């Protein structure tokens, strides 16, 4: 199988809602491609269309994505990608294909770097994600371990916006210090939790109550560096960001 051409199966559509046949089509396509002896399917992606598609009776994208995620809970190779639905307007299929083609190339390059450099297995971002959920896609864990994300923090009194930006995935957290809120961790481990961020001296302390015990993070500044310690179930991961002038 290793010598075969790697392929990613992508299905665009409304998925209003997703059906058993949608998922069955992926299985049939993969089986056929494997039987040719030429190809190796490494992933399947379901890409729900944007709300501005204009189809009569189209349910909100967040509900269609949630339904698809529930339907695919038992699949270890098909996932839902919200990128298309998150665009400002309806996106042509060819542009969606180009986006995922580029993302797949980037993923394959990361994989080659992992093999070539024999990356160590000490406790890193990958271990943190594994502690959140052993079923988190291994490719996602490997990529997260290689990324060097940017942090952008916007503060207006007690209201804060923390943006974590990378070439692979972005995550935006908006909250009021000292007020508990429901946090949707879609794209991280696809869970929801009740989150409270407060000041602990000159450090921001975050406590996330949900399925996983001891989950949260601490963030503080030392000189021109911002330190971030994230925790879950006794596992800790440390990240350090340097200030950009």
CATH code, domain with 51? 3.40.50.620
Are 106 and 168 spatial neighbours (Cβ–Cβ below 8 Å)?
Answer: yes
The mean predicted confidence, pLDDT, of the chain is 82
pLDDT tens, position by position, 155-167: 999 999 998 876 5
Are 131 and 189 spatial neighbours (Cβ–Cβ below 8 Å)?
Answer: no
- The strand pairing partners of 47, in sequence order, are 12
Domain boundary among 68, 95, 116: 116
Domain boundary among 52, 81, 116: 116
Q: Do both 105 and 131 map to the same domain? A: no
SS3 148: coil
pLDDT tens, position by position, 10-39: 999 999 999 999 999 999 999 999 999 999
Give the H/E segment covering residue 69.
helix 61-71
Q: Do both 37 and 104 map to the same domain? A: yes
Residue 8: band (very low, low, confident or very high) from pLDDT cuts 50, 70, 90:
very high
Q: Do both 102 and 159 map to the same domain? A: no
Q: What is the mean pLDDT of residues 54-80?
A: 92
The domain tally of the chain equals 2
Q: Do both 107 and 167 map to the same domain? A: no
Q: Do both 67 and 15 map to the same domain? A: yes
CB count in 10 Å sphere of residue 146: 18
Q: Do both 125 and 235 map to the same domain? A: yes
Phi, psi of 41 (to 5 degrees): -80, 120
| DSSP code of residue 86 | G
Residue length, the chain?
A: 245
- Residue 45: which of 75, 19, 4, 86 has the closest Cα? 75
Complete DSSP assignment for 117-140: HT---SSSHHHHHHHH-TTS-HHH
Q: Do both 100 and 21 map to the same domain? A: yes
Q: Do both 154 and 225 map to the same domain? A: yes
CA angle 231, 138, 125 (to 5 degrees): 30
Complete DSSP assignment for 156-201: ETTEEEEEEE-SS--EEEEEETT--EEEE-TTTTS-EEEEEEEEET
Q: Do both 124 and 191 map to the same domain? A: yes
Domain boundary among 54, 86, 116: 116
pLDDT > 70: what percent of the chain? 78
**Which of 126-130, 213-217, 237-241 shows the lowest mean pLDDT across its residues?**
126-130
Q: Do both 153 and 235 map to the same domain? A: yes
pLDDT tens, position by position, 99-142: 998 888 777 666 565 555 554 433 444 454 444 444 444 455 45
Q: How far is CA 183 from CA 192, 214, 239, in A?
A: 6, 16, 21
Indicate which CATH number applies to the domain containing 191.
Answer: 2.40.128.20
Q: Do both 112 and 196 map to the same domain? A: no
pLDDT tens, position by position, 181-200: 999 876 666 678 999 999 99
Residue in this structure with the two tokens 């399947």, named with its chain if needed: 44
Q: Which domain holds residue 170?
A: 119-242
CA angle 199, 204, 207 (to 5 degrees): 95
Q: Do both 199 and 148 map to the same domain? A: yes
- Taking the C-alpha atoms of residue 225 and residue 240, their distance in angstroms, rounded to an integer, is 7
């Amino acid at each position: 199988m290793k010598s075969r051409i790697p392929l990613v199966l992508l299905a665009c559509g409304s998925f209003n809602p997703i059906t058993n046949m949608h998922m069955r089509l992926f299985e049939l396509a993969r089986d056929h491609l494997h039987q040719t002896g030429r190809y190796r399917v490494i992933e399947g992606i379901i890409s729900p269309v944007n709300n501005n598609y204009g189809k009569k009776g189209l349910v909100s994208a967040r509900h269609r994505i949630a339904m698809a995620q529930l339907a695919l809970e038992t699949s270890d190779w098909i996932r839902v990608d919200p990128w298309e639905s998150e665009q400002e307007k309806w996106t042509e299929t060819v542009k969606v294909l180009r986006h995922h083609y580029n993302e797949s190339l980037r993923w394959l390059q990361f994989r080659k770097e992992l093999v070539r450099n024999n990356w160590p297995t000490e406790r890193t971002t990958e271990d943190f994600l594994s502690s959140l959920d052993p079923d988190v896609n291994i490719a996602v864990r490997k990529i997260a371990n290689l990324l060097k994300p940017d942090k952008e923090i916007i503060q207006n009194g007690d209201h804060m916006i923390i943006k974590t930006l990378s070439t692979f995935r972005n995550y935006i957290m908006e909250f009021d210090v000292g007020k508990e809120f429901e946090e949707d961790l879609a794209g991280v481990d696809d869970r929801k939790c009740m989150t409270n961020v407060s000041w602990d001296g000159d450090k921001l302390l975050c406590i996330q109550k949900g399925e996983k015990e001891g989950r949260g993070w601490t963030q503080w500044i030392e000189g021109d560096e911002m330190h971030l310690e994230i925790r879950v179930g006794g596992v800790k991961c440390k990240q350090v960001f340097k200030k950009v002038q």
